[in-house]
Chains A and B, each alone.
Chain A
Amino acid sequence: MTTILGLPANVVYFTAGIYALLALATIVVLFMRWRNPGERYAELMARTDSWWWMIGAFTLAILLNQTVAIVFLGLIAYLALKEYLSLVPTRRIDREVLLFAYLAIPLQFYWAAIDWYNMFIVFIPVWMFLFFPALMALRGQTQGFLRAVGTLSWGLMMTVYTLSHMAWLLVSGDRINPIAGGVGLLFFLVVLTQFNDVAQYCWGKPLGRHKVTPNVSPKKTWEGLIGGIATTTLVAGLVGPYLTPMDWRWSALAGAILGVSGFLGDITMSAMKRDLGVKDTGGLIPGHGGILDRVDSLTYAAPVFVHFIRYFYFP
């Protein structure tokens, strides 16, 4: 593996490519705003600004070193869980229980960091799943018990568990990916999933006519979905051979899988927001909403991609 500053060379070129694409997108948005001043493009501008911050923080943290990268990914999971627990109905009696839920985050990311797959994969769906209902039962309040157990279990799975797959991929990916390491696999997963969100938006905005899920996410159209997945499949086929152990065919298939699972994560989170009666999950990222609004597609794409690559490429 050729390296630049201790990083796989392909990852460095890919990162440069991301920044070039971002710079190009920024110029296009600035041009659109210059042609059509006023409020119309204010949100798009805020979104683009936020992309610079997010891509800046992500690339810096992931490329600095593995420990920083894992702490950074853990922080994203923490912010996501905090946002979730602040949105859903909770019981006063569970205040201290929720503190334990936060403590599950460093443990789960620690299992990923030491590459203890068996513990990593059962810790939340088995141990935490059993622990919290028992703790709530021992505390003695049965009113609202089922709702409290249900919302907490789903929340831990949807935020901490799913997102921690990014950390596991980063650590264990080194074993199977001589050309670009775990970093290459993580970049492939995260960048293409986020790219797919943007691609769906860019296809859907001008061409979208037929709604996919009018009751859940009325802005999602078949035109956007198909155009987005096709674009992601194409880009994945082009970059996959340089970032992952997959050839262009498998890479393209992985891209299609990321596109579909990203879409499913997005509408799942939308269904939750609809149920709670909120438009955004928070206000952390200007133009995007909360952190859950940004990582919603990753909550599905990360575990699906990890198990895809694990099944076909891990010994």
Chain B
Amino acid sequence: MSKNPFTRLLRFLFFAVVVRAVILIALGLTVRHRERLPKDGPAVLAGNHNSNLDALAIMSLMPLRLLPKLRPVAAMDYFFTSSIRGWFATNIIGIIPVKRGSGKEGGNPLALAEEALRRGEILVLFPEGTRGEPETFKQFRKGIGHLAHALPKVPVVPIFMYGLGKALPKGSALLVPFNVTVSVGEPLYGTKSYNEFVDELEASMTALAADEKLPVWE
């Protein structure tokens, strides 16, 4: 993320004005268990992924004072397709890039994310790895388990969201207003094996979803 004060101001204005206005007027969030959100970094906010708005919605849950610390973890190949897109992703959204598939080559795809947590930052991460079909779960990837296992003192907060996949699903550029339900789970810690952690996180997310009465969308 840029140290340039002008870009930082742009980022602040983007989140304080544009994102908040869109979320307030076009969407409207009903947040359950807001008190479970971390008060400061380091922390991981782990959401289900259905829409390009997911990261922005999660970031809007946190006070603007923590904005400089908020970093969504996102796939490099999706954002760095053009220089403008790359600039926007890096400086305004403030993403931490992940090279998808680099784990198989022996590297650690989440090395930059781990560094950010050690600096006390708050990551926004989508354990499903990609936006699935609207409003359905995909199996969680193992990356989050490795990250939690490496930093067992960092809370990982599951955040279940419903409605964003209806408002702006994959493959559409047309935003249709829908209310969004956000349910925050109890923080989890990677004290056991990474596989167990991923199962625990997935179970927590499924339980949050099961507590909601969600309308049919087919």
Contact = CB atoms under 8 A, between A and B. Distances in A.
The B interface, classified by DSSP as helix, strand, loop or mixed, is loop
B176 interface: yes
Contacts of B217: 89-92
B46 to A, nearest CB: 22
A112 to B, nearest CB: 21
A87 B177 contact: no
Contact of B176 (A89, A95, A278, A283): A95
Given A95-B166, A95-B176, A89 B215 contact: yes
Contact of A277 (B30, B163, B172, B213): B213
Interface string B30-71: 110000000000000000000000000000000000000000
Interface string A269-307: 000000011100011100000000000000000000000
Contacts of B30: 282-284
Size category of the B interface is 10 to 19
A8 B151 CA distance: 66
A83 B30 CA distance: 11
Given A86-B163, A86-B215, A278-B213, A79 B176 contact: no
Contact of A88 (B174, B177, B215): B215
Interface string B160-181: 0001001001001010111100
Interface stretch (A96-104, A154-162, A213-221): A96-104
Given A82-B28, A95-B166, A87 B215 contact: yes
A85 interface: yes
B155 interface: no
Interface in A87-145: 87-92, 95-96, 98-99, 102, 144
A119 B20 CA distance: 36
Interface residues of A, number: 24
Given A83-B179, A90-B166, A284 B28 contact: yes
Given A82-B179, A85-B178, A282 B28 contact: yes
Interface string B175-218: 01111000000000000000000000000000000000101111
A102 B177 contact: yes
Interface centre among B169, B172, B178, B179 (most CB of A within 10 A): B179
Contacts of A82: 28, 177-179
Contacts of B166: 86, 90, 95
Interface of B: 28, 30-31, 134, 163, 166, 169, 172, 174, 176-179, 213, 215-218
Leading 10 A-B pairs by shortest Cβ distance: A283-B30, A89-B216, A86-B179, A89-B215, A277-B213, A86-B178, A82-B177, A99-B176, A95-B176, A278-B213
Given A95-B166, A98-B176, 17 more contacts: A79-B28, A82-B28, A85-B177, A85-B178, A86-B179, A88-B215, A89-B215, A89-B217, A90-B216, A95-B172, A95-B176, A96-B174, A277-B213, A282-B179, A283-B30, A283-B31, A284-B28
